[in-house]
């Protein structure tokens, strides 16, 4: 049996039981969804997929409305566009959706302007909850798509550990099951092994702990494409209790072990789709966290592909005036000091070298400022500099070692210090490379600006050490001359 | 079904309260004192566990009635007894306004600050000055007061409800209430202002149909009800048979009185034709629309009529089980219905063999717990089933998949009571009253600044002006400023539009709605902007939070109204007005249920018909 309906005046035939969304996708009509996932029961709460159905008083959700013969659906009418825009605005004005790339794209498409509600608009923001080793909760990123509730409930896990509590705007997801676990962890009654075990080989490996994963996510290093640990995908975690016999498996009694079993089932149940547009609210060691996209087994080079994807998709940037100011003033100081060095202490090659480096540094940060709006360029540039500096050091290290076997420093608190030339240059090099590395990992002007500030401080210390050691030497000579 | 608990244990009192409702536990798995050898051969899960879930709401009520709040240990006990996942049980407990998941004193006075009470007296403001902020317990131990949405006592506004938890739990209505009454209630003094009976303004009018018995009979007496013509309709229904009854109801063109105006006969017919069994009947007595009190008066004063009408509906639709979902703020109606159901069972009018016709039907009462959204039919089903009162998506409609996923007839109290006349005198006869498209009579709840507020019954087609005249016009010779027709989900009507005929089609033409028959009268002294803001706050508080347009839209709407109130009349105000209209449209177009879809209608009508941008001009 099949049904025929009209989508934007084009007849579409779909099998009976298909939803309007299925029909739209069959027609290649780009329909945004947030709370929809192929393998979960539609909850149709986000209302971003609404379409106009002829004869219906209100708009209907495409993700759950079944197709009927003779339906006339409009997917891009003024009403539909307004509703989608407003829903995106509502979410973006109340939730931190900065990590939800697809949603950002939809917001651009529908011209959503969440700023319209003013600065006093209420948000769901609250501090990140990191209170245990098992899960991290960032409620300010939760759009209440119910996917974790569904997956934890009858759609996959049948664990029912996550449920909505409260009402209206105050509604939040609550997790009940792990609270006791947390309590037991904190008073030493339970122990967590972040281990993985392959059912066939009995291999025990290590998976990335939750908090690390959370921070990787913030750095966008943890891709939606791979929610499981990078090495071994398709795992289902299991909270198993060690107790046996007539005792009910309970969280109160017995030693507790967190075991991650490798299984195929979870992939079969929910695969082939990214879990959530903004799932970053919850980094959790349970099945809900492990659904991957796509479901097919990935070839071994997938990590390289992942790295390239990650590298080519830096986060969007917002220029904050304060930080930009800090960066600019840092550069100004670098110019000023650099000039000093070149004018006064050109006598040794090493110092000249350092001056040159400072100028390179300056050039680097200047380009940072010039390219503030494009983080991808920034990241590429940083990589370029990394290679340039690296080759510079490799090239000249032998010469430096020969020419300056020892460097005399006059450090503020340690008096005169004599260090090996290589060590000194290595330290200097590492300090120089630090902001570049940070830039690659996290190409935002804010981070960079504060790195600049830190660099200036360190650079000053080094320069002063040089200056004072020279002055000290000079004074010693003066004293011996006069005597 | 995995269920995990925290270590918290209930107190003896909490355990008693729950076990008094649920009976002793069957095994050690479901909260029994210890596990025995026999328990190893016992499984609590699957179907038997799911079939208990609907007892969650009554169990939470039992706790709240005994100890005043729902502690973690007590919730664990309920979860163990009913095998409900604790996370979900907490989700349900935190959904309802009348339950507190934080410690609360046993005595709580819920003080109404909704529209009808607000225009009569600023009770809450006065209490805040003398007693401190709502919910505070600094002043006295053992009692507190809380702000509440409409308590459904609007004809005697301002209103308050005292509820005292304990072994001798009681809920008392105080109306009209003064601040001193609330303070006295908190001090534990008995309030004498608790009026025993409703006084009907139209008492004695021979034209009354639905209200004809009210005030004339003792609501607790089945004999009185029978003597006043009761149970004649049921007898006639048995003569007609289910198809005959449906034919009469179809002929009567009865439309649902809950607000959606769906033809009742078609609903019953659809359920009767559904092959899936069992069928359920639900009487929606969760009237929480601000300004509505009609169902309360019918239930308090004529409870047997509700039960008889439900029996007729069940007979027509082939239902064996009926539920009355009554809002938690109606203690007196609850008691009246409870008594009436017990009486009916005793006299064979409910049970296995009703009136000797072999028809089996019984009614169970479910108390709501302070959630406006549970008046939405699918949210009501979820609430009865023990889930959060969040509306379901339609289709499928309740006639196909309603309560417990089975075909369900769900009707408002007023709609059901209309059926008695239809069955007794025939549908054709009934349809002669009213207009062609809106047959019969309609109950109107007049409150606010009317001279004689109260419940009125008039045939469809009467104008708003004639109804206001019936209620004595505006109180104290003031000029009429506006009428809110249909409640918070309705629309404002200007004095120029008073000649609108009160029919479903008539008010639709005037871009208003009859809703649940609310008529709140505002005289010239009222600042409509404050009224509009209260309506916005009401929807913000009552949104269930499931879908984005309503969850965020209601909040943004309220914020915007405050911004408009603070701003002037310039360009910014015009931009804000456009934004307000857009918020209204997305809520109307994209919300799941009627709450979100109507959350902006009164506000938009107020902005369209009155100048709310400038400062309020008091005469």
CA distance B70 to chain A (A): 14
B42 interaction partners in chain A (CB closer than 8 Å): none
* DSSP string for A92-158: HHHS--TT-HHHHHHHHHTT--GGGG-TT--------B--SSSEEE-GGG-----HHHHHHTTTTT-
Asked if A167 is an interface residue toward chain B (Cβ–Cβ < 8 A), one would say yes
Mean pLDDT of chain A: 65
Cα(B381)–Cα(B369) distance, integer angstroms: 14
Pairwise CB contact (< 8 Å): B551 & A121: no
| CA angle centred on B586, ends B580 and B589, rounded to 5° | 135
Alpha-carbon torsion, ordered B466, B261, B333, B453, to 10 deg: -20
DSSP B200: P
pLDDT band at B160; cut points 50, 70, 90: very high
Cα(B26)–Cα(B44) distance, integer angstroms: 10
Closest-CA residue of chain B to A42: B393
Asked if A165 is an interface residue toward chain B (Cβ–Cβ < 8 A), one would say yes
pLDDT of B394: 87
Pairwise CB contact (< 8 Å): B2 & A158: yes
- Selected residue with higher pLDDT from B583 and A397: B583
Cα(A291)–Cα(A273) distance, integer angstroms: 8
pLDDT tens-digit series, residues B432-479 = 999 998 999 999 999 999 999 999 999 999 999 999 999 999 998 899
Nearest of B193, B211, B194 to residue B202 by alpha carbon? B211
Of residues B40, B548, B554, nearest to A246 (C-beta): B40
Cα(A210)–Cα(B446) distance, integer angstroms: 60
Closest-CA residue of chain B to A238: B2
Cα(B63)–Cα(B40) distance, integer angstroms: 30
Pairwise CB contact (< 8 Å): A46 & B90: no
Mean predicted confidence (pLDDT) in A182-203: 45
To which H or E segment does residue A395 belong?
helix A375-403
Tracing tokens 């109260």 back to the chain, one arrives at B454
CB atoms within 10 A of CB B20: 11
- Selected residue with higher pLDDT from B426 and B131: B426
**Is residue A197 helix, strand or coil?**
strand
Buried b / exposed e over A139-149, threshold 16 CB at 10 Å, is: bbbbbbbbbbb
- Given a cut of 90, whether residue A201 has pLDDT beyond it is no
CA distances from B32 to A269, B24, B54 (A): 36, 8, 20
Q: Residue A256 in contact with residue A184, Cβ under 8 Å? A: yes
What the block records as the tokens of B158 is 């301002």
Q: Count the residues in chain A.
A: 483
Pairwise CB contact (< 8 Å): B554 & A47: no
B588 interaction partners in chain A (CB closer than 8 Å): 58
pLDDT of A170: 93
Q: How many CA atoms lie within 13 A of A275 on its CB side?
A: 33
Strand A256-262 versus strand A195-197 pairing type: parallel
Tally: H helices and E strands in chain A:
13, 15
pLDDT of A87: 96
Closest-CA residue of chain A to B559: A121
CB atoms within 10 A of CB B56: 24
pLDDT of B272: 96
Mean predicted confidence (pLDDT) in B44-72: 86
> Rounded to 5 degrees, what are φ and ψ at A194?
-85, 65
What the block records as the tokens of A283 is 């980094």
Nearest of A259, A220, A263 to residue A239 by alpha carbon? A259
- Given a cut of 60, whether residue A274 has pLDDT beyond it is no
pLDDT of A13: 92
Mean pLDDT of chain B: 90
CA distances from A70 to A3, A9, A12, A58, A464 (A): 8, 11, 10, 18, 82
What part of A 106-135 touches B (C-beta under 8 Å)?
116-118, 120-122
Q: Residue B411 in contact with residue B403, Cβ under 8 Å? A: no
Buried b / exposed e over A162-173, threshold 16 CB at 10 Å, is: bbbbbbbbebbb
pLDDT of A434: 73
Pairwise CB contact (< 8 Å): A82 & B556: no
pLDDT tens-digit series, residues B478-509 = 999 999 999 999 999 999 999 999 999 899 88
Mutate to test the interface with A, among B35, B87, B288, B508 (most CBs of A within 10 A): B87
* Interface pTM, i.e. ipTM: 0.93
Q: Count the residues in chain B.
A: 619
- Selected residue with higher pLDDT from B590 and A277: B590
To which H or E segment does residue A267 belong?
helix A265-269
CB atoms within 10 A of CB B415: 24
Share of chain B above pLDDT 90, in %: 73
Mutate to test the interface with A, among B1, B2, B4, B262 (most CBs of A within 10 A): B4
To which H or E segment does residue A426 belong?
helix A421-441
**Is residue B94 helix, strand or coil?**
coil
Q: Residue B389 in contact with residue B373, Cβ under 8 Å? A: yes
CA distances from A331 to A361, A373, A381, B323 (A): 9, 18, 17, 75
B2 interaction partners in chain A (CB closer than 8 Å): 158-160
Q: Residue B399 in contact with residue B270, Cβ under 8 Å? A: yes
CB atoms within 10 A of CB B170: 11
CA distances from B238 to A144, A327, A407, B22, B361 (A): 50, 88, 111, 36, 13
pLDDT band at A222; cut points 50, 70, 90: very low
DSSP B615: -
CA distances from B186 to B162, B169, B426, B569 (A): 8, 15, 52, 45
Q: Is the dihedral of CA B349, B352, B358, B361 positive or negative?
A: positive
Of residues B29, B91, B585, nearest to A248 (C-beta): B29
> Rounded to 5 degrees, what are φ and ψ at B411?
-135, 150
Mutate to test the interface with B, among A20, A36, A43, A47 (most CBs of B within 10 A): A47
- Given a cut of 90, whether residue B143 has pLDDT beyond it is no
Cα(B539)–Cα(B419) distance, integer angstroms: 32
pLDDT band at A197; cut points 50, 70, 90: very low
CA distance B7 to chain A (A): 7
What the block records as the tokens of A192 is 């967590």
Of residues A121, A168, A176, nearest to B87 (C-beta): A176
B547 interaction partners in chain A (CB closer than 8 Å): 44-47
Cα(B220)–Cα(B339) distance, integer angstroms: 7
Alpha-carbon torsion, ordered A422, A424, A425, A430, to 10 deg: 120
pLDDT of B615: 56
Cα(B258)–Cα(B285) distance, integer angstroms: 10
């Amino acid at each position: 049996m099949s049904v025929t309906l009209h989508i934007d005046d084009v007849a579409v035939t779909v099998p009976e039981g298909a939803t309007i969304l299925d029909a739209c996708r069959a027609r290649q009509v780009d329909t945004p969804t947030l709370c929809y996932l192929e393998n979960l029961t539609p909850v149709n709460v986000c209302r971003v997929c609404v379409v106009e159905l002829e004869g219906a008083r209100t708009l209907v959700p495409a993700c759950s409305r079944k197709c009927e013969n003779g339906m006339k659906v409009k997917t891009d009418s003024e009403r539909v566009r307004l509703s989608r825009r407003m829903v995106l605005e509502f979410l973006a004005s109340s939730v931190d959706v900065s990590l939800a790339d697809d949603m950002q794209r939809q917001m651009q498409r529908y011209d959503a302007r969440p700023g319209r509600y003013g600065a006093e608009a209420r948000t769901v923001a609250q501090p990140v909850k990191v209170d245990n080793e098992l899960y991290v909760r960032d409620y300010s990123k939760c759009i209440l798509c119910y996917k974790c509730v569904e997956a934890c409930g009858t759609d996959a896990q049948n664990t029912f550990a996550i449920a909505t509590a409260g009402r209206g705007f105050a509604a939040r997801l609550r997790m009940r099951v792990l609270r006791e676990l947390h309590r037991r962890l904190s008073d030493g009654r339970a122990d967590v092994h972040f281990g993985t075990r392959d059912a066939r080989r009995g291999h025990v490996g290590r998976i990335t702990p939750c908090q690390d994963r959370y921070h990787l996510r913030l750095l966008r290093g943890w891709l939606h494409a791979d929610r499981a640990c990078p090495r071994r995908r398709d795992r289902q975690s299991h909270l198993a209790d060690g107790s046996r016999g007539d005792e009910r498996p309970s969280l109160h009694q017995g030693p507790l072990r967190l075991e991650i079993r490798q299984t195929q089932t979870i992939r079969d149940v929910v695969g082939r789709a990214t879990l959530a547009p903004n799932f970053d609210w919850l980094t959790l060691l349970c099945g809900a966290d492990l659904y991957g996209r796509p479901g097919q087994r990935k070839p071994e080079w997938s990590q390289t592909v992942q790295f390239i994807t990650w590298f080519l998709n830096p986060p969007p940037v917002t220029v904050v005036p304060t930080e930009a100011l800090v960066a600019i003033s840092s550069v100004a100081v670098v110019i000023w000091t650099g000039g000093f060095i070149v004018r006064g202490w050109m006598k040794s090659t090493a110092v000249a070298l350092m001056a040159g480096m400072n100028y390179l540094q300056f050039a680097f940060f200047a380009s940072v400022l010039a390219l503030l709006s494009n983080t991808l360029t920034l990241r590429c540039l940083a990589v370029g500099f990394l290679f340039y500096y690296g080759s510079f050091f490799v090239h000249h290290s032998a010469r430096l070692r020969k020419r300056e076997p020892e460097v005399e420093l006059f450090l503020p608190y340690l008096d005169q210090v004599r260090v090996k030339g290589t060590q000194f240059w290595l330290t200097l090099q590492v300090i120089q490379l630090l902001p570049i590395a940070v830039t690659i990992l996290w190409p935002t002007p804010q981070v960079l600006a504060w790195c600049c500030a830190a660099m200036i401080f360190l650079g000053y210390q080094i320069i002063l050490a040089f200056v004072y050691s020279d002055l000290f030497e000079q004074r010693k000579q003066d004293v011996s001359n006069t005597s | 079904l995995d269920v995990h608990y925290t270590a918290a244990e209930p107190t003896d009192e909490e355990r008693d309260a729950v076990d008094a409702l649920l009976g002793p536990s069957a095994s050690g798995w479901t909260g029994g004192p210890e596990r025995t050898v026999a328990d190893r051969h016992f499984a609590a899960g699957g179907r038997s566990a799911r079939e208990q879930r609907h007892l969650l709401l009554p169990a939470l009520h039992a706790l709240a009635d005994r100890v005043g709040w729902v502690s973690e240990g007590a919730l664990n006990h309920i979860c163990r007894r009913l095998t409900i996942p604790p996370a979900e049980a907490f989700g349900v407990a935190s959904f309802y306004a009348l339950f507190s998941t934080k410690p609360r004193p046993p005595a709580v006075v819920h003080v109404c600050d909704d529209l009808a009470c607000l225009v009569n007296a600023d009770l809450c403001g006065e209490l805040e000055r003398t007693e401190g902020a709502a919910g505070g317990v600094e002043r006295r131990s053992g009692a507190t007061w809380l702000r509440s949405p409409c308590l459904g006592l609007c004809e005697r506004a301002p209103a308050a409800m005292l509820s005292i938890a304990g072994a001798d739990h009681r809920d008392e209505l105080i109306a009209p209430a003064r601040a001193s009454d609330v303070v006295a209630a908190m001090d534990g003094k008995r309030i004498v202002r608790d009026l025993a009976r409703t006084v009907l303004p139209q008492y004695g009018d021979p034209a009354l149909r639905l209200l004809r018995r009210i005030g004339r009979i003792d609501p607790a007496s089945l004999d009185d009800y029978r003597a006043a013509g009761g149970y004649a309709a049921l007898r006639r229904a048995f003569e007609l048979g289910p198809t005959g009854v449906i034919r009469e109801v179809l002929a009567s063109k009865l439309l649902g009185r809950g607000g959606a105006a769906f033809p009742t006969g078609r609903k019953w017919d659809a359920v009767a034709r559904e092959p899936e069994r069992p069928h359920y009947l639900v009487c929606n007595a969760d009237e929480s629309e601000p300004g509505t009190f009609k169902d309360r008066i019918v239930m308090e004063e004529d409870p047997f009529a509700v039960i008889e009408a439900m029996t007729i509906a069940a007979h027509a639709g082939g239902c064996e089980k009926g539920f009355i979902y009554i809002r938690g703020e109606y203690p007196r109606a609850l008691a009246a219905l409870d008594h009436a159901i017990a009486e009916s069972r005793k006299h064979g009018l409910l049970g296995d063999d009703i009136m000797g016709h072999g028809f089996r039907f019984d009614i169970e009462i479910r108390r709501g717990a302070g959630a406006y959204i549970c008046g939405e039919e699918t949210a009501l089903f979820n609430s009865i089933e023990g889930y959060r009162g969040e509306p379901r998506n339609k289709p499928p409609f309740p006639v196909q998949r309603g309560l417990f996923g089975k075909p369900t007839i769900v009707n408002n109290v007023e709609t059901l009571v209309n059926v008695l006349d239809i069955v007794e005198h025939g549908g054709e006869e009934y349809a002669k009253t009213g207009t062609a498209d809106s047959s019969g009579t309609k109950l109107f709840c007049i409150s606010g600044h009317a001279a004689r507020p109260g419940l009125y019954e008039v045939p469809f087609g009467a104008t708003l002006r004639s109804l206001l005249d019936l209620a004595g016009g505006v109180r104290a010779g003031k000029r009429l400023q506006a009428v809110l027709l249909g409640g918070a989900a309705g629309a404002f009507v200007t004095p120029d539009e008073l000649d609108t005929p009160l029919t479903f089609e008539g008010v639709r033409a005037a871009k208003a709605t009859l809703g649940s028959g609310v008529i709140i009268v505002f005289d010239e002294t009222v600042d409509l902007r404050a009224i509009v803001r209260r309506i916005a706050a009401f929807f913000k508080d009552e949104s269930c939070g499931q879908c984005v347009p309503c969850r965020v839209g209601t909040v943004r709407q309220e914020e915007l109204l405050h911004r408009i109130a603070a701003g002037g009349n310039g360009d910014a105000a015009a931009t804000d007005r456009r934004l307000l209209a857009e918020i209204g449209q997305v809520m109307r177009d994209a919300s799941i249920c009627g709450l979100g879809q109507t959350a902006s209608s009164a506000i938009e009508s107020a902005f369209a018909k009155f100048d709310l941008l400038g400062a309020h001009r008091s005469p």
